[in-house]
Amino acid sequence: MMKQLLLTLALIGFASTANAACYADYKAKMDNPLRLHYGVIELPDSACSVGAAASNIARRLTGGWELLEVMSVFDESGLESRRNRAGQYYLRY
């Protein structure tokens, strides 16, 4: 009985650490002169929705960049298709 309980707890712990990673793609701007960029960013599990991602990304952008829009939130399966488009802003922040 104790072995089954320990095995169950171990499996629950493993399952919770095996959660899929969370990412978002977004658009940002900088004024004077106007510059735009599209980027991909990794998010903590607590920010894995478009609404929660917006405040997280806005806080993390640096160098005068201002968040315009969170386009989508996705898992690792969406990373490769966005790599080339994001260029230097792929997982930068």
Residue 15 falls within a domain, yes or no? no
Residue 76 falls within a domain, yes or no? yes
Residue 12 falls within a domain, yes or no? no
Residue 4 falls within a domain, yes or no? no
pLDDT at residue 55 in the model? 96
User: Which structural domain range is residue 59 located in?
Assistant: 21-89
Cα gap 13→63, rounded to integer Å? 39
Residue 43 falls within a domain, yes or no? yes
Question: Which tokens is 30 given?
Answer: 């900088």
Residue 28 falls within a domain, yes or no? yes
pLDDT at residue 19 in the model? 58
pLDDT at residue 20 in the model? 77
Which helix (DSSP H) or strand (DSSP E) does residue 1 occupy? none
Residue 9 falls within a domain, yes or no? no
pLDDT of 1 above 90? no
Q: For residue range 19-75, what is the model confidence (pLDDT) as tens digits?
A: 579 999 999 999 999 999 999 999 999 999 999 999 999 999 999 999 999 999 999
Number of independent structural domains in the chain: 1
Phi, psi of 82 (to 5 degrees): -105, -10
Phi, psi of 69 (to 5 degrees): -160, 140
Say whether 90 sits in a helix, a strand or coil. Answer: strand
- Is the full-model pTM beyond 0.85? no
pLDDT at residue 7 in the model? 41
